[in-house]
Amino acid sequence: MKKIIIASLAALCLCGCGSLNKNSGDIPSFDWLNASERGDLSWAKEVGSRQFPKDKIFRVKAFGAVNDSTVLSTLAIQRTIDSCSNAGGGIVAFEPGYYQTGALFIKKGVNLQIGKGVTLLASTNFKDYPEFRTRIAGIEMVWPSAVLNIMDAENAAVSGEGTLDCRGKFCWDKYRQMRKDYEGKGLRWIVDYDCKRIRGILISNSSDVTLKNFTLIRSGFWGVQVLYSTRCTLNGLTINNNIGGHGPSTDGIDIDSSTRILLDGCDINCNDDNICLKAGRDADGLRVNRPTEYVVVRNCIARKGAGLITCGSETSGNIRYVLGYNLKAYGTSSTLKLKSAMNRGGTVDHIYMTDVIADSVQDVLAVDLNWNPSYSYSELPEEYKGKDIPEHWKVMLTPVVPPEKGYPHFKDVYLANVKATHATQFISTSGWSDSLKLDSFAVYHLDVEAQKAGIVVFTNHFRMNDVKLKIADKSEVTFKNNTELTKDIRYE
């Protein structure tokens, strides 16, 4: 016999059923929210690249590149890119085959076309990736270049139906060994920064950039990072970082302090966050103070990984105005994950996600203001005090003053129209205290089958409406320290 619980502690204004049109360009209405909460989502039509390079062809073979996996063709490919850009732009084209390369720098007006039958094989020698100042995992520091780099450019692209094989196992192995050594010395908090692993693609300080249709595999670190950039489109990418092992920190796509970004039709299999939005970490992130905002994620699939859409843990510069719809998660840790720490600061707000199919996820909704303390908080062991330490260690050890400036805030988050099966847990959402709560969350029209129900703790104005739960262990959602709570849950 069905057990029905309907308890309303605050009124919820509903109108319409919240259904969507399926055309990828349609903006979901969220008409189940009241007008003030829906806000104006018209910005979602104004995201993505506005240009694409022209079609004049420059062939890498003519500049000396060899489609033989034993020959390093970095210089020849780079000469082709430079010539193409200097001539006003066009396509840098490859004949089918395997091309070994170190770091490449794609310039203004250039479309690096990795065509069908073409595989770029990344060098496994760290010396082939010159270092420069960039941002990595929330702080600015010196770090190796990516395999493909688009820096300080506009109207650039990487396209085609071929493959970028980053061959990242040499980075994975290095990290795992360093992690063992560092944890024994009380240095878990810095090992990710000392182990300089190679990203797949970096877009930095650029605009009107397109990544389209190719496959990226086995990234040594993050797959694609879009940093300090605007008006970028990532369309039809296949990212698989779980080939030949499960690489640590192999995020699929990271949107980092960037604006007006479109992710459409991407398929991501990785060992960390599938699609992650970031905006800087701790004192350094607060110094830079650049938001990630106006991001659309649609028609994407997340397979193995830590989150279909994740916001954080780097939240210092604010993450806001994010719209995700027509999405699928298969075996992903979380459908929607928001995470930060008590020294990050920043606000995550106006996050809209709807029309999602999830199978075998760990959590449908996971929210944590105090995520992964062993990684999130920096403390110098006694044996290193008074000694000369690297500059990026000093950055990581810089305190946020006053401490309250480091408190993160999550608010105005809306999740709707989710069908989830074989989940481990429905929900895990936790504010910090009575004075630091999650504020104005709404969950609507969810149909979830899970092993256990989960918790909602330290929230204000948290609403569940039209939620159907089939929980294997017969538990119910635990609610603690919530104000203005609305819950309309049907247990089956």
Asked whether the beta carbons of 190 and 144 are under 8 A apart, the reply is no
Q: How far does CA 235 lie from the centroid of its chain? A: 15
What average pLDDT values come out for the chain (492 residues) when binned by 10 residues?
Answer: 34 32 70 86 96 97 96 98 98 98 98 98 98 98 98 98 98 97 96 98 98 98 98 98 92 98 98 97 98 98 98 98 98 98 98 98 98 94 96 98 98 98 98 97 98 98 97 98 97 96
Q: State the CATH number of the domain containing residue 180.
A: 2.160.20.10
How far is residue 121 from each of residues 47, 69, 97, 168, measured CA to CA in Å? 32, 7, 10, 10
What is residue 229's predicted lDDT score, i.e. its pLDDT? 98
Domain tally, the chain:
1
Structure tokens at 160: 């085609």
- Report the pLDDT value the prediction gives residue 25, as an integer from 0 to 100: 64
Residue 394: count other Cβ atoms within 10 Å of its Cβ. Answer: 10
Cα torsion through 369, 374, 375, 377, rounded to 10: 70
CB 443 within 8 A of CB 358: no
Report the alpha-carbon distance of residue 223 to residue 460 in Å, rounded.
36
Q: pTM score, two decimals?
A: 0.94
Predicted local confidence at residue 22, as pLDDT? 43
Q: What pLDDT, on the 0 to 100 scale, is given for residue 5?
A: 33
Question: Of the candidates 96, 26, 31, which has an alpha carbon nearest to the alpha carbon of residue 65?
Answer: 96
* Structural domain boundaries, residue 452: 3-491
Give me 368's structure tokens. 């944590």
